[in-house]
Amino acid sequence: MRLFIAIDLPETWRELLAKPQESIGWLGRGVKWVDPKGTHLTLKFLGEVSPNLLDPVKAAAARACEQFPAFTMRLKGTGVFPDPKRPRIYWAGVQAPETLFELQAEVEREIEELGFEHEERKFSPHLTIARIKEPAGKQRMTEALLNFKMESEPVTVTETVLIRSHLSEDGARYEPLAYFSLRHV
């Protein structure tokens, strides 16, 4: 099973994430826009997981989540990985309190105790909008994306979700397997 732990997004965010493609998508080819319906804020990608580890993964995620209170976050800004001169990923930024970073670190720690590899890259909360297939000649589109006003109202995060992704020729399909509540204040 291919699994990851994430924060699900409200429908209003999914609508906002579709706006850049609608507004600037015509500026260039070689960009694969991500369908916002399948977008999540990933806290930990687990990869292929043996079914006998499913219950321990659920228990670890639950332990991590129960330590943190609900918090608010919002979409704010856009950006490019690795940099605007060599765009490979267009993304929307997520503005959140330190609680999000602490939650992600605790999920990472709990999962690592089950034998999963530690993620070396620093957690950078973002939502992928598009993947760039042909980075050459994308200056105009990249500039338009970086100037795109992306901002949402704050939303309250009360839970995380363990998601199984089913890959196929038609793209990924996501199946929620379990929800983990944050601590009630």
Instruction: Please pick, among 40, 118, 166, 184, the residue that the annotation labels catalytic.
Output: 40
Residue 184 bears catalytic tag: no
Instruction: Please pick, among 118, 126, 166, 184, the residue that the annotation labels catalytic.
Output: 126
Instruction: Give the closest residue to 44 by CA, choosing from 180, 158, 167.
Output: 180
Burial class (CB within 10 angstroms; exposed 0-12, middle 13-18, buried 19+) of 70: middle
Phi then psi for 45, rounded to 5 degrees? -90, 125
Residue 126 bears catalytic tag: yes
End-to-end CA distance of the chain: 34
For the annotated catalytic residues, the residue numbers are 40, 126
